[in-house]
A and B are shown apart, each in its own frame.
Chain A
């Protein structure tokens, strides 16, 4: 549905987006994750035809955005970071205007306006002036206007920014509902959002794509090995030593110690469940096993470890971060 190849955008000497390539399949939600200034908005603006790329090309809904911009735009709905509302227009007037310029047939216009207002739950605000709306409603009106021509592709730039927690949940639900009929790209710098809404993630930093994968795979792949956290009521080196003798364990690190309780981080080969053996080793040595849990790396850790890299690593190789380092970051 969306295919981006070697997209590069330079502003004078500054390179905002550098050789970005990715694909989005029909009906998929792709998350665009990166710190501020990573090039998310620039990439989205190129995809929506707002600005041309310096190099590379992008195909949206089967049309090249540089060669056939009008056709591509007809099939794209875009919600910029600040919803582009005219403060002097009422919500329904605004949506009617957007419907007109997006090419909605005049016979369907009224029905479409009603439909998107219902879908984004702004029907009560139909006669309010856009300028008088709260931030949350503005965002929803923006979303409604992006949906008005029933586009194949939806591009949402930080759709939940500035919303209260309840609205954030509602918006995410709405986006998920939309995913079946529309292909969605959304950008965000909020990590849980990606884990909750997106099927795949593009992590972008300083204009480079750092990684593309599903949120689960990213977490798993970056870890490389599995880590368990164990808390024992025994102290001393012999505990660490006997834990590391358990088959499959690659490394044992003492992580915290207080009131006679010691916490260990135990790395093991991935795919091998060492929990039983660990428990047996602890119990047979006569120590008390107070806690044992897998340490899952949150997407936050992945994000940080990928984007705080000293040397920019091209694409997928970034996952081969030395283990452990990622955990501590």
Chain B
């Protein structure tokens, strides 16, 4: 356990020692802020219209349903763009610079290294999400949103990001080249995002399969404030599978030399 924490800490430190953390968090804060402002503006307009129609004022429309949920849905695409930047260097950089030799010759198991790296990346992702608490805080100051669906939405965000990160780690473990890792990761994420688009056209079976595969579709319920064990288990098993693939990839690299 202490090994995992040591590696996670080292990963997190190295994100903040290089420009990566600042670029990722900076871009995220900027774009999230823009999304927030745009949706808030739209929300305010809607409320005013509602008011004019003689309803009970701004509170008549649900701030959770009309503002927070679409906001988070829209920012999922930001996560898709930014997380490859977080994971692309995780293994490829260690391989390129030879520091992987230090890790693999230390009394640390492969699994500890992988979980450590996963937690390190999750730490950075959590820092990204923490920035958004500022915007939510503003909503709490000026309105009365319900906190429970927000909590489930964030649990969902963490789990969904975890899936992306575990997959990104796996792809990063396949190559020495960060750029290759980043591009491939982004491509795979994108594919997992748009996979449902062919769903309805390809017939009911294909639709079900594509829906099941789409990481993003499983997020819907979390956003609505529903904690469904199906999705929860889907995410957890996806993360486990990603980490398992990474472990196999690291191990096979060893044999191939």
Q: Which residues of chain A from 60 to 78 have any CB-CB distance to chain B below 8 Å in the complex?
A: 70-71, 73-74, 76, 78
Tell me whether B102 and A98 are in contact (CB under 8 A).
Answer: yes
Interface string of A67-92 (1 = CB under 8 A from B): 00011011010101010111111000
A9, A71, A88: most-surrounded residue (chain B CB, <10 A): A88
Tell me whether A78 and B3 are in contact (CB under 8 A).
Answer: no
Tell me whether B106 and A102 are in contact (CB under 8 A).
Answer: yes
Tell me whether A50 and B14 are in contact (CB under 8 A).
Answer: no
Q: Which residues of chain B from 205 to 257 have any CB-CB distance to chain A below 8 Å in the complex?
A: 254-257
Tell me whether A78 and B101 are in contact (CB under 8 A).
Answer: yes
Tell me whether A89 and B107 are in contact (CB under 8 A).
Answer: no
Interfacial chain B residues near A74, Cβ < 8 Å: 107
Of B5-13, B65-73, B140-148, B177-185, the stretch lying at the interface with chain A is: B5-13
A145 and B106 CA atoms in complex are apart in Å by 11
Interfacial chain B residues near A93, Cβ < 8 Å: 13
Distance in angstroms from A228 CB to nearest chain B CB is 49
Tell me whether A101 and B108 are in contact (CB under 8 A).
Answer: yes
B103 interface residue (CB < 8 Å to A): yes
Q: Which chain A residue has the least Cβ–Cβ distance from B251?
A: A52
Tell me whether A103 and B107 are in contact (CB under 8 A).
Answer: yes
Q: Which chain A residue has the least Cβ–Cβ distance from B100?
A: A84
Q: A11-B257, A51-B255, A100-B2 are in contact. Are A88 and B106 (CB under 8 A)?
A: no
Distance in angstroms from B61 CB to nearest chain A CB is 48
Interface string of A82-117 (1 = CB under 8 A from B): 101111110001000110111100000000000000
A49 interface residue (CB < 8 Å to B): yes
B200 interface residue (CB < 8 Å to A): no
> How many residues on A have C-beta within 8 angstroms of the other chain's C-beta atoms?
32
Q: A100-B2, A101-B6 are in contact. Are A87 and B104 (CB under 8 A)?
A: no
A76 and B104 CA atoms in complex are apart in Å by 12
Q: Which chain B residue has the least Cβ–Cβ distance from A9?
A: B257
Q: A11-B256, A52-B254, A74-B107 are in contact. Are A88 and B14 (CB under 8 A)?
A: yes
Q: Which chain A residue has the least Cβ–Cβ distance from B5?
A: A100
Q: A84-B98, A100-B3 are in contact. Are A49 and B14 (CB under 8 A)?
A: no
A100 and B104 CA atoms in complex are apart in Å by 14
Tell me whether A70 and B107 are in contact (CB under 8 A).
Answer: yes
Interfacial chain B residues near A100, Cβ < 8 Å: 2-3, 6
A227 interface residue (CB < 8 Å to B): no
* Given A76-B105, A87-B97, A102-B106: 4 more A-B contacts, CB < 8 Å: A78-B105, A80-B101, A84-B102, A97-B6
Closest 7 CB pairs of A and B: A88-B17, A84-B102, A100-B6, A84-B99, A73-B107, A74-B107, A48-B105
19 contacts between A and B (CB under 8 A): A49-B105, A50-B105, A74-B107, A78-B101, A82-B98, A84-B99, A85-B99, A86-B10, A86-B14, A86-B97, A88-B13, A89-B13, A101-B6, A101-B103, A101-B106, A101-B108, A102-B107, A103-B107, A145-B102
